[in-house]
Homo-oligomer: A and B are copies of this chain.
Amino acid sequence: MEILQKVQEQILSYVKEIADDKSLELLGLLPNGKMLRSKLILKIAGANEESIKLCAVVEMIHAASLLHDDVIDDATTRRGKQTINALFDNKTSIMFGDILYSKAFTELTKMDKEVAYTISNAVTLLSVGELLDVELSKIFNTSYDKYLDMIYKKTASLIEASAKSAAILANKNRDNFALYGKNLGLAFQMVDDILDITEDSEKLGKPAMLDFVEGKVTIPYLFTYERSNEQDKTKLENFYKKELSNDETLWLKNQFSTTNAIQDSIALAQKFGSNAIEAIKDENNEDLVLIMKAMIERDF
């Protein structure tokens, strides 16, 4: 998609404006993401100068949040590439995140006021979501509501805001597109949480089954815990935040299977996917339906 190249060029041009050599060097070291948020914006608002700038701003915000995320998670690889905190140090990753955040906010102030508000408010939610993620990773969380609130804020809020902002720019129904983005975001995070369990480390570009070791009780773990007997519940609690042996991993995978946890997590992600499609049923936007379907109809 050539237009995504234009978004990359816009990001490069923004970072060049900062006139700091180190920032330019660091930008070149970031992995290329899927640019999901840009794809949505372009499918809703079309490709024009305004929408490309919005894409660039949102991608910079997303990159900034990942730079801070990698420090928080002590992540050394992302998408198979070494992270900035691994290549340099935490300081560099924190500060480069701040630079991308603030440059994005600076460019937002030149845009439509409602768009600027919508995106920056989502960044507040996103940051609260990250903090909630840290809090929920301290003790074994068994609350579905807390998990849902956290993934809404951490992942769905910026996708929701991207879709809504694109609708504002294109004079389309902002509520419908916001609802699409929110549900897509929730489905996206659940799919991500499922893949952590079902994919191998090579495909993930990071160690497999890392979430539980890091204290993250994601949707498959919530389901399997809820449906386990007392003895197995205790076993799950003992496995929490531990590097598991092969036997223990095998037991865990079997537990997922007997409790239907993976299957039902997929079904739940699909339900959010249907909600997303339902939200834009009157918008005649087949591309957005395809994006949503591709995300939830994959092989797990």
Interface stretch, picked from A128-136, A194-202, A234-242, A292-300, is A128-136
Complex Cα–Cα for A188 and B126 (A) = 34
The minimal Cβ–Cβ distance linking A15 to chain B, given in whole angstroms, is 10
A99, closest chain B residue (CB): B127
Q: Using a CB-CB cutoff of 8 Å, which residues 166-190 of chain A contact chain B?
A: none
Interface: A120 (CB within 8 A): yes
Q: Using a CB-CB cutoff of 8 Å, which residues 92-144 of chain A contact chain B?
A: 92, 94-96, 98-99, 101-103, 105-106, 108-110, 113, 116-117, 120-121, 123-124, 126-128, 130-132, 134-135
**A120-B109, A123-B102 are contacts. A128–B94 as well, Cβ < 8 Å?**
no
A interface, over-half SS: helix
Establish whether residues A91 and B134, one from each chain, have CB atoms under 8 Å apart when the complex forms. Answer: yes
Interface: A216 (CB within 8 A): no
Interface: A90 (CB within 8 A): yes
**A102-B120, A105-B120, A117-B106 are contacts. A23–B91 as well, Cβ < 8 Å?**
no
Which residues does chain B contribute within 8 Å of A117, judged by CB atoms? Answer: 106, 109-110
Establish whether residues B127 and A22, one from each chain, have CB atoms under 8 Å apart when the complex forms. Answer: no
Establish whether residues A90 and B102, one from each chain, have CB atoms under 8 Å apart when the complex forms. Answer: no
Partner of A103, one of B102, B113, B124: B124
The minimal Cβ–Cβ distance linking A46 to chain B, given in whole angstroms, is 24
Interface: A68 (CB within 8 A): yes
Which residues does chain B contribute within 8 Å of A94, judged by CB atoms? Answer: 68, 71-72, 94
The minimal Cβ–Cβ distance linking A169 to chain B, given in whole angstroms, is 15
**A90-B90, A96-B131, A98-B68 are contacts. A109–B106 as well, Cβ < 8 Å?**
no
Establish whether residues A72 and B91, one from each chain, have CB atoms under 8 Å apart when the complex forms. Answer: yes
Interface: A282 (CB within 8 A): no
**Counting chain B CB atoms within 10 Å of each CB, which of A22, A23, A120 scores highest?**
A120
Task: Specify how many copies of this chain sit in the oligomer.
Answer: 2
Complex Cα–Cα for A95 and B72 (A) = 9
A94, closest chain B residue (CB): B68
The minimal Cβ–Cβ distance linking A294 to chain B, given in whole angstroms, is 31
Interface: A18 (CB within 8 A): yes
Interface readout for A23-51 with B: 1 if CB under 8 Å, 0 if not?
Answer: 10000000000000000000000000000
**A106-B117, A117-B110, A120-B105 are contacts. A20–B132 as well, Cβ < 8 Å?**
yes
9 nearest interchain CB pairs? Answer: A98-B127, A102-B123, A109-B116, A102-B124, A95-B131, A106-B120, A99-B127, A109-B117, A105-B105
Q: Which residues of A contact B (CB under 8 A)?
A: 18, 20, 22-23, 65, 68, 71-72, 90-92, 94-96, 98-99, 101-103, 105-106, 108-110, 113, 116-117, 120-121, 123-124, 126-128, 130-132, 134-135
